[in-house]
Amino acid sequence: MRKRPLLIAVVLLIAALTVYAMENAREPEIEVPPPPKLVLPEPLELSSPIMSHSDRVIDIHENLSRATFTNCTLRIIGEEGISLSDCELVGSRLLIESSRNVALSRSRVRDYYVHEKAAIRIVDVDGLLMEGNEVVNNSIGMVVEGGSGVEIRLNLFEANDQHNAILGLNCHGAEICNNVFRFNFPHALMIMNRGEDPEVRLDIHDNLFDRNLEDAINFEDFRGATEETRVYRNRVNGTGWAGVNVEYNSWGANIVIEENYIDANGLMTEGLLDGGGRPLDVYPAHGHQPEPYSPGWGHGVKLEDCSGVTVRDNTIIANSGCGIEARNARGILLEGNVVASNLVGVSVMGYDEGALLREFSPLSREDAGASQVMARGNSVFDNPEGDWDVEEGSEVLSEQG
């Protein structure tokens, strides 16, 4: 009789171990990772100015701090080791050209609205630190042309809404990190390498791209780079069109898009526009856009008329169009991505006939064709209109899963 409780205990233990083994033998459920924790800029509080200037052109030859400029043009040309800090530029612009080791820190640049003119223009500067600034409510926030050793970190770029927060960036080494880009039109970053400079290279990481009006990160004519450009660990959400876009004859782009969290892009709809085609409160507009806004494609990552792009280990969820669209794209690797709850998971398509006739950088007939994509180790699921959509003539090599 004493053996009965022991037998029962053994049976219960075996049953428990069996249940445990069965549970651990099941296919694991795929979990969508949480958004990344980012280090972002603190709100800027300027010190009381000790000098002010208005309606002047000022050449800067020495360090400058705690000054206010209204309707001025500031120029740093052919200088070395100059810093500008704790300043406010109102309706003013800053030009930095052919200089070395220049720093702009803890300053506010705002309300410079002149058609197609940048509030900050950087040309051929080797060694630029831009840290802790606010660049807000300008026509174009910043243009960077050429140069090297560019660091843009811990800044706020907001409502630069006539032609981008930052434009150009054809640098031999630029790091854009820990910034906030919000409400910029049409793009937060518009990056080009039309000259096919093989040494152009950027690292874009740990930024927050929040509700920019068209594409958050847009590579146009980004061609012929032998150096690798990386876009990684960013949060890209709420953008009107696409989170990350590589397009307009970006052949041999050599771009890696990696470990980003790309969600809720393309949610701008006609219902979020006023009668004049301007966004309502969820996408605040400042009245500067030169034409009415129109909703776009709504993809997480869009690759069109390009080659040499790797999309790896990203979380791409809840976008109103495709999680990833490859259109006339070749030499594309999709690896280890979680692509879920988009309208379509991954779309692999041929060229768009309209691309042959577009005004800027039209697609040549020789470059027009089908897409060729290598895919491995992706988790593509719960996309209501299909996880994989491969147009006839295009191809996906390796596994689709």
Distance between alpha carbon 90 and the CA centroid of its chain, in Å?
27
Contacts of 123 (CB under 8 A, 6+ apart): 95, 96, 97, 98, 145, 146, 147
pLDDT in tens, 312-328: 999 999 999 999 999 99
Residue 78 token pair: 């052919």
pLDDT at 353 over 70: yes
**The predicted structure's pLDDT at residue 12:** 38
- Ordered alpha helix ranges (H), 206-287: none
Contacts of 196 (CB under 8 A, 6+ apart): 223, 224
pLDDT at 275 over 80: no
Is residue 300 within 8 Å of 242, Cβ to Cβ?
yes
State how far the Cα of 130 lies from the Cα of 126, in Å rounded to an integer: 13
pLDDT in tens, 75-101: 999 999 999 999 999 999 999 999 999
Give percent of the chain above pLDDT 70: 91
- Name which of 46-50, 123-127, 282-286 the model is least confident about: 282-286
User: Once rounded to an integer, what is the mean pLDDT over residues 131-152?
Assistant: 97
Question: Under DSSP, is residue 166 helix (H, G, I), strand (E, B) or coil?
Answer: strand
Is residue 278 within 8 Å of 292, Cβ to Cβ?
yes
pLDDT in tens, 219-255: 999 999 999 999 999 999 999 899 999 999 999 999 9
**The predicted structure's pLDDT at residue 58:** 97
**pLDDT band (50, 70, 90) for residue 290:** low
Q: Tell me the whole-structure pTM to 2 decimals.
A: 0.90
Give percent of the chain above pLDDT 90: 80
Contacts of 291 (CB under 8 A, 6+ apart): 277
**Nearest one of 291, 295, 334, 287 to 311, comparing CA atoms:** 334
Q: Where do we find the tokens 């003119």? A: 117
pLDDT in tens, 10-36: 333 333 333 333 333 333 467 788 888
The region, left, alpha or beta by phi > 0 then psi within -120 to 50, assigned to residue 210 is beta
Query: Hey, which bits of 313-371 come out as E strands?
Result: 315-317, 322-335, 338-340, 344-349
**pLDDT band (50, 70, 90) for residue 3:** very low
Residue 383 token pair: 């996309």
Is residue 337 within 8 Å of 345, Cβ to Cβ?
no
- Name which of 168-177, 267-276, 332-341 the model is least confident about: 267-276
**The predicted structure's pLDDT at residue 399:** 60
> Amino acid identity, residue 291?
E
State how far the Cα of 220 lies from the Cα of 333, in Å rounded to an integer: 19
**The predicted structure's pLDDT at residue 16:** 38
**The predicted structure's pLDDT at residue 285:** 65
- Secondary structure tally for the chain: helices H, strands E: 1, 37
**pLDDT band (50, 70, 90) for residue 7:** very low
Is residue 375 within 8 Å of 347, Cβ to Cβ?
no
> Amino acid identity, residue 300?
G
**The predicted structure's pLDDT at residue 393:** 96
Averaged pLDDT of the chain? 90
**pLDDT band (50, 70, 90) for residue 283:** confident
